[in-house]
Structure 1
Amino acid sequence: MTLTRSSRAISPAPLWGPDMVRRPTIALISTAMSLLAATAGASTCEGRNLIDALPDAKRTQIEAAVADVPYHEGILWRATRGQATITMVGTYHFSDPRHLETVATLEDDLTDAEVLFVEAGPEEEARLTQALTEDPSLMIDPDGPTLPERLDDDEWQTLSTAMAERGSPAVVTAKMRPWYVAMMLGISPCMIETMTAAGDDGGLDSILVARAEALSIPVRALEPWDTVFTLFADLTPDEEEDMIRAALPAADYADDYAITLTDAYFRGDVWTIWEFGRFDAYDKSGMTNAEVDAQLDLAQTQLMDKRNRAWIAPLTDAADKAAQSGKGVLAGFGALHLPGESGVLRLLEKDGWTVERLDG
């Protein structure tokens, strides 16, 4: 909706929670940029829609790749099993005035909900902020080789320039952990400025949380506060470096990427975001198609599929409990968690839930 990318295709970080982003990742970025004294201030992203600019043949290829993916369109869904109900919204983790329309659409569902689920609630975000403040080694490697030592000269110069545009001086970037650098490259400078601006609402997730708190509805996290750190714990040094190399080519047009992803999200073209990233990586990453596909498979497994499976039990257990008092459950999480054979919607369907789209 997030997070990092093992290839150019993992550029939809804001939709993960992404992925890769997902809110643990967004809270991490926001805290980190504050620690690095990034320039704050509202900013409006300007750029061109890269999908609209593609040749017809390329758009046709992307459309074909998306067509057979289950639940590839739509951000508003409801799952029912007996009297139990789960209303779901695929979120976008950055500020946009159009989120208010989505929240208005969900007002009745939220009012009637027993609980609101998000990837990370206020308690988890506070715990993450505390951990980052107390332990800089979560993002900074104080002992290992620096990034200038791990990358060649051209790669390091490109990286240091791109990170400077994102508020991180070279002396800090040099010691950053590779997964965090790759994640940062997936977010445009204008988005970072918007996110760190005073009064920024933090995206649809935060708006939902604020509204739930105003209604005295409990907010529950789908996963622990430190999930973002465990996602990358098993990567080899080569895989870590490849994350950066794969992310670098598109860093220069990240604002265009931001516009492209935002437009696709508000059209409901959720899986188009993922497949556009794949074809963009084919063309620009310098990797073979097979290498891109392999890294995408790894990213999807780590950033989405494993987490999706872990979310099903808490969602369904809460819905069954809420049904006993005639209520439902509302859940908001990165939109890229919705589609696919291992997406939340298909997993619920396989578990005996009836799934219907609410926004199309």
Structure 2
Amino acid sequence: MRSLGLFAFVVSTFCAGAAVQAACTGQDLFAAMPEARQNAMREAAHAAPHAQGLLFRATRGDETVTLLGTYHLPDPRHEPLLAEVRPALDTAAAVLVEAGPVEEEALQAEMVRNPMLMFSDGPTLPEVLPEELWQEVMALGSSRGVPSVLLAKMRPAFLATTLAMPPCATAEIAAGKLGLDKQLIAEAEARNVPVQALEPFDTIFRIFDQIPDSETVDLLRSAVIGAEQADATAVTMGELYFAREPRLIWEFSRELSLQGGMSAETIARQLEMSERLLITQRNQNWVPVIEEALAKGPVIAAVGAMHLSGEHGVLHLLEERGFTVERLD
């Protein structure tokens, strides 16, 4: 749930043979929560800078960057937001995304060339995990079309990512349906607007390398808990996103983790690690890339919506560098 750009591409590529399912359906888990709990999460979310909104403009002198918070999974509700950003394409010197077509092609080639990106040459997961957890992992892997012989050798972070992707969304991506970022890339290419990546193609695996082995059991236990409600979680994330409440997705994620039965200490540690590796660290790397691209003219930066808000969000980081930020939607 935290960040699904390259993650969605990697998992959909790996699990392309899984059984095709219908579009994501299920209960809106946030709407089903008690009103008092919803209000508490809203209050916590809205305390962060730029908590609401998906489309922003940041200006500094004659420099202009349009920032779009994207939802990487396919959804028919993308069109209205895409229409809102189209005018910026008329003057854009470049569209900046987490990963463009060149990076996806390079990543796919590297995965074929070097399978050890996905698999470990160390102890197998049945040797590391408690038996009941391994049995749950096998059952979930099988439901996603991944045989146990491959699951056993998967790197834990890659496996957790695989289990986190809703099967309905994986099937739609594998069938060629596009998230908002991919739709924007297609429109930019049709207009001959250059598409530039904000980070190297192998960023996802560099992130995996930073997750210590000591987190393996808790990481996979958390993934199993989340996978049990994967489709409903995808539905809920979509509802919050299209309500233009991206920061509320983070608070919902925290709440859902607490309901899974893991200790508050473990959840806090995992959320801190997720935010640091998937959000904060990458945001800090992206801002200089955005600034460099602005030397050629106005740009559009389309990144996962969770990257925009918060003290370490892209919008606040730009403000710290002298940009003025305004919400456009």
1:29 to 5, 8, 11: 11
Aligned to 2:256: 280
1:298-337 paired onto structure 2 within 5 Å: 298-322=273-297, 328-337=298-307
Aligned-residue offset at 1:265? 0.6
1:196-275 paired onto structure 2 within 5 Å: 196-197=174-175, 199-201=176-178, 203-275=179-251
> Which TM-score applies when normalising by structure 1?
0.88
In the alignment, is the contact (CA less than 8 A) between 2:158 and 2:208 conserved in 1? no
In the alignment, is the contact (CA less than 8 A) between 1:110 and 1:330 conserved in 2? yes
Runs of 4+ residues over 4 Å off in structure 1: none
Aligned to 1:168: 146
Aligned-residue offset at 1:174? 1.3
In the alignment, is the contact (CA less than 8 A) between 1:78 and 1:87 conserved in 2? yes
Aligned-residue offset at 1:246? 1.5
Deviations 1:136-181 (A, max 9, x none): 111122x211111111111111111112112212222111110011
1:107 aligns with 2:86: yes
In the alignment, is the contact (CA less than 8 A) between 2:141 and 2:151 conserved in 1? yes
The share of aligned pairs that are identical, in percent, is 40
Aligned to 2:309: 339
Aligned to 2:167: 189
1:147 to 110, 116, 125: 125
Aligned-residue offset at 1:222? 0.2
In the alignment, is the contact (CA less than 8 A) between 2:157 and 2:219 conserved in 1? yes
Tell me how many residue pairs correspond in the alignment.
329
Aligned to 1:158: 136
Aligned to 1:353: 323
Aligned-residue offset at 1:193? 1.1
Deviations 1:247-304 (A, max 9, x none): 21121111110100011111111011111111111121x3222321222111111111
> In 2, Cα distance between the equivalents of 1:291 and 1:45?
29
Amino acid in structure 1 at the alignment position of 2:111: L
Aligned to 2:49: 70
> In 1, Cα distance between the equivalents of 2:140 and 2:177?
24
In the alignment, is the contact (CA less than 8 A) between 1:27 and 1:125 conserved in 2? yes
2:95 to 101, 111, 116: 116
Question: Structure 1 regions of 5+ residues with no counterpart?
Answer: 1-11, 323-327
Aligned-residue offset at 1:42? 5.9
In the alignment, is the contact (CA less than 8 A) between 2:12 and 2:171 conserved in 1? no
> In 2, Cα distance between the equivalents of 1:144 and 1:293?
28
Secondary structure in 2 aligned to 1:241?
helix
Deviations 1:1-59 (A, max 9, x none): xxxxxxxxxxx24xxxx1xx33x22221122123xx323x4621110000011112321
Aligned to 2:18: 38
1:291 aligns with 2:270: no
> In 2, Cα distance between the equivalents of 1:78 and 1:336?
17
Secondary structure in 1 aligned to 2:15?
helix
Aligned to 2:110: 131
> In 1, Cα distance between the equivalents of 2:216 and 2:304?
24
> In 1, Cα distance between the equivalents of 2:202 and 2:154?
18
Amino acid in structure 2 at the alignment position of 1:88: L
